[in-house]
Chains A and B, each alone.
Chain A
Amino acid sequence: MVIQDSDLTNIERLRWQCRRGMLELDVLLEAFLEQRYVALSPRLKRHFVQLLEFPDPVIHAWCVQGQRPEDEEFAELISSIRATSVA
């Protein structure tokens, strides 16, 4: 997917992209978007937009189960998502 700069700032669109087939992802991704997204660097914002294109079980494995993605750059975003407070 080609990501435009406008994709990074369209928060409402991202909010709908955070609607997933798994409750765990709904809760975690929406909270992340709410609490942390705006303060991210453009590079990490871009990663987040990319992440939302992955299938649910992959996002679940990385963000909930803590499996390490191969791409180290993604790792930074994912540890930030995992540190989001949802409890």
Chain B
Amino acid sequence: MALEKQRFDTLILGAGGAGLNAALQLANANLKVAVVSKVFPTRSHTVAAQGGVNAALANVLPDNWHWHMFDTVKGSDYLGDQDAIEYMCREAIPTVYELEHNGVPFSRLTNGKIYQRAFGGQSQNFGGEQAARTCAAADRTGHAILHTLYQQNIRAKTHFYDEYFAVDLIKDKEGIVVGALVLNIATGEPLLIESTTTLLATGGCGQVFRTTSNAHINTGDGMAMVLRAGLPLMDMEFFQFHPTGIAGKGMLITEGVRGEGGYLINKDGDRFMEKYAPNAKDLASRDVVSRSIVTEVRDGHGCGPEADHVMLKVNHLSEDVIAKRLPGIRESSRIFAGVDPVKDPIPVFPTAHYVMGGIPTDRFGRVMPTSEDNGEHLPGLYAAGECACASVHGANRLGGNSLLDILVFGRLAGHNIIDYVKDNGTHRPLDEAAVEQAMGRLARWENKGEGLSVSQLRNEFRKTMEDHAGVFRVEEMMAEGVEKVRQIREKLSDVRLTDHSSTFNINRTEALELENMIDVGLSIAVSALHRKESRGAHSRPDYPKRNDAEWMKHTLYWQENDKLDYKGVRVQPLTVESFPPKERVY
């Protein structure tokens, strides 16, 4: 049967905040836009963002985009590109107003202006007093943004392919991306979407770790597609862990619990943070607390039958305090950990939360294929959102800056695509060999017989990533981890599906996701092994210091032979002076 084909000006893979904001610009400019999403758009992971989005509106306390820029550069541990960061912090202000005009119901002050909350890492005057920079729509900011953008896109006649799974990018003979092969999950039918421009907006990859706060859809599909297309991923060693996820499950237990007086204990009941951070104790920074928890477990002080987690004690706080100041915690703990925190401590372990690295793009959302910083980019291919690395978060992301990143760079990619299509509006002939290769990846799952199950190999892989490329990173165990992940990649060919039906074959979708996760996991493990310093979220007890002389540079990873290369950080902002690296103390 002939493969069905459809043509669009632009193909957008992913319908989270980044994809939808790009699509809206394009549809409003009357381009023919297709948006592909493996789940219904408003079920994208952006819906989970409750905290809010940063913009220096100065509605509550004095503020200014330049201070926001300083905080972001410092937060990035000086690995962020300062031109992109300046751009993002300036654009934050019109971006939030545009959302407001489009109908996002931001919470308001009595004077009618948008209300803004204070969050960690926000300062006035370049490191001075606390700033209040985060705009929120009650505790449903992500949902409000997605819902509004989706409605606007429907009005602008964006074409949605809901519950279609993108399999691979398709190139022409010169290596230019001319579309993608996607799979209709409901029918099992493949579809080839041809486009003059393609935007990857497929979100994060937290599922590569056993314990993660990310939804099951976050399997790094777009990143893996880029790797298979022979393009690099950047700074993949930088993964933000939140110290207190429910053990073995990953759901976040907010920092507020420790703020209200909750503290961590090991199996002997010792308050171990006193040992690792005598002053700040349980309120030390995220990376310090995460590493302390893993160290306790590794040293044999873990709790539970597997001795694989620690406990967060809150039962010394009154039921009233828990109900009033920590709403939600009691219900989450009861359902997901099976404990009532009013009576018993909550089992916790660091949970993988956000990937700072991703598909390298320039400040215009264009994908950059090499380590040369000479403006070279791949014509017609763009990336935005958590799957991309513009690089505004560097080695560590600040709360509220991710929604900002996806919205600003989604919108900007949209504008740049409009300009590109004006001069390059004709479809290029695709390379049939590339189509066949992508179809082959689908056909491979039709192999029948005995073999490993998807879930068996997935469990082994995610545990390996957690143990060998997670919070605790020392040379020997990381090298062992790289080997193990390589072996797991080999085992993929032994995996067989248990379901061979064509309609709603979730088993096959999960197999494709597993392959993606393994590709992305290896990029994390290899990049992390080779960065011999501690910076931001990447902490190496064997190289405990940041080393600007040798390591103030971005890692680039290619799948072929696990090749690595490096390129310098762009320290020159657009209009202001550069912020030189300083020790990051809070």
Does any Cβ of B come within 8 Å of A10's Cβ? yes
Q: How many residues of A contact B (CB 8 A)?
A: 25
Which A residues lie within 8 Å of B438 (CB)?
none
Size bracket, chain B contacts = 35 or more
A26 to B140, CA, bound (A): 18
Q: How far is the CB of A65 from chain B (nearest CB, A)?
A: 5
Does any Cβ of B come within 8 Å of A36's Cβ? no
Residues of B464-510 at the interface with A, using a CB-CB cut-off of 8 Å, are: 499, 501, 503-506, 509
Which A residues lie within 8 Å of B515 (CB)?
none
In the complex, identify which listed stretch (B23-31, B36-44, B169-177, B446-454) lies at the interface while the others stay far away. Answer: B36-44
Q: How far is the CB of B244 from chain A (nearest CB, A)?
A: 14
Q: How far is the CB of A82 from chain B (nearest CB, A)?
A: 7
Which A residues lie within 8 Å of B212 (CB)?
23
Contact B335 A56 (CB under 8 A): no
Does any Cβ of B come within 8 Å of A42's Cβ? no
Contact B143 A55 (CB under 8 A): yes
A5-38, CB under 8 A of B: which get 1 and which 0? 0000010110110011111111110000000000
Which A residues lie within 8 Å of B139 (CB)?
57
Residues of B122-146 at the interface with A, using a CB-CB cut-off of 8 Å, are: 139-140, 142-143
Contact A57 B143 (CB under 8 A): yes
Does any Cβ of B come within 8 Å of A39's Cβ? no
Does any Cβ of A come within 8 Å of B565's Cβ? no
| Known interface pairs A22-B215, A23-B250, A56-B43; A12-B338 also in contact (CB < 8 Å) | no
Which A residues lie within 8 Å of B251 (CB)?
23-24, 27
Which A residues lie within 8 Å of B506 (CB)?
12, 15-16
Which B residues lie within 8 Å of A27 (CB)?
249, 251, 336
Which A residues lie within 8 Å of B509 (CB)?
16
Residues of B319-344 at the interface with A, using a CB-CB cut-off of 8 Å, are: 327-328, 331-332, 335-339
Contact A10 B143 (CB under 8 A): no
Q: How far is the CB of B4 from chain A (nearest CB, A)?
A: 21
In the complex, identify which listed stretch (B45-53, B85-93, B286-294, B537-545) lies at the interface while the others stay far away. Answer: B45-53
Contact B186 A87 (CB under 8 A): no
A83 to B142, CA, bound (A): 28
Contact B336 A24 (CB under 8 A): yes
A87 to B509, CA, bound (A): 26
A19 to B203, CA, bound (A): 15
Does any Cβ of A come within 8 Å of B147's Cβ? yes
Most buried by B among A10, A24, A28, A85: A24
Which A residues lie within 8 Å of B335 (CB)?
24, 28, 64, 82, 86-87
Does any Cβ of A come within 8 Å of B199's Cβ? no
Does any Cβ of A come within 8 Å of B183's Cβ? no
Which B residues lie within 8 Å of A24 (CB)?
251, 332, 335-336
Does any Cβ of A come within 8 Å of B198's Cβ? no
Which B residues lie within 8 Å of A56 (CB)?
42-43, 47-48, 143
Which B residues lie within 8 Å of A55 (CB)?
42, 47, 143, 147
Does any Cβ of A come within 8 Å of B530's Cβ? no
Task: Label chain B's interface by main secondary structure.
Answer: loop
Residues of B162-202 at the interface with A, using a CB-CB cut-off of 8 Å, are: 163, 185-186
Does any Cβ of A come within 8 Å of B72's Cβ? no
Which B residues lie within 8 Å of A28 (CB)?
335
Does any Cβ of A come within 8 Å of B155's Cβ? no
Does any Cβ of A come within 8 Å of B216's Cβ? yes
| Known interface pairs A10-B504, A55-B143; A19-B338 also in contact (CB < 8 Å) | no
Which B residues lie within 8 Å of A87 (CB)?
335-339
Does any Cβ of A come within 8 Å of B217's Cβ? yes
Q: How far is the CB of B284 from chain A (nearest CB, A)?
A: 25
Q: Which of A12, A21, A64, A66 contacts B47 (CB 8 A)?
A: A21
A85 to B335, CA, bound (A): 8
Return the chain B residue nearest A84 by Cβ.
B335
Contact B331 A64 (CB under 8 A): yes
| Known interface pairs A15-B506, A19-B216, A57-B47; A65-B328 also in contact (CB < 8 Å) | yes
Which A residues lie within 8 Å of B48 (CB)?
21-23, 56
Does any Cβ of A come within 8 Å of B214's Cβ? yes
Q: How far is the CB of A4 from chain B (nearest CB, A)?
A: 14
Which B residues lie within 8 Å of A10 (CB)?
504
Contact B215 A20 (CB under 8 A): yes
A-B contact pairs, 29 of them (CB 8 A): A13-B504, A19-B215, A20-B39, A21-B39, A21-B45, A21-B215, A22-B48, A23-B212, A23-B213, A23-B216, A23-B251, A24-B251, A24-B335, A24-B336, A25-B215, A26-B215, A27-B336, A28-B335, A55-B47, A56-B43, A57-B47, A57-B139, A57-B140, A64-B331, A64-B335, A65-B328, A86-B336, A87-B336, A87-B339
Chain B contacts to A: CB under 8 angstroms: 38-39, 42-48, 139-140, 142-143, 147, 163, 185-186, 212-217, 249-251, 327-328, 331-332, 335-339, 499, 501, 503-506, 509
With contacts A16-B39, A21-B215, A24-B336 known, what are 20 further pairs, Cβ within 8 A? Answer: A16-B185, A19-B215, A19-B216, A20-B43, A20-B47, A21-B44, A21-B142, A21-B217, A23-B251, A26-B216, A55-B47, A55-B147, A56-B48, A57-B140, A64-B335, A65-B327, A82-B335, A86-B249, A87-B335, A87-B337
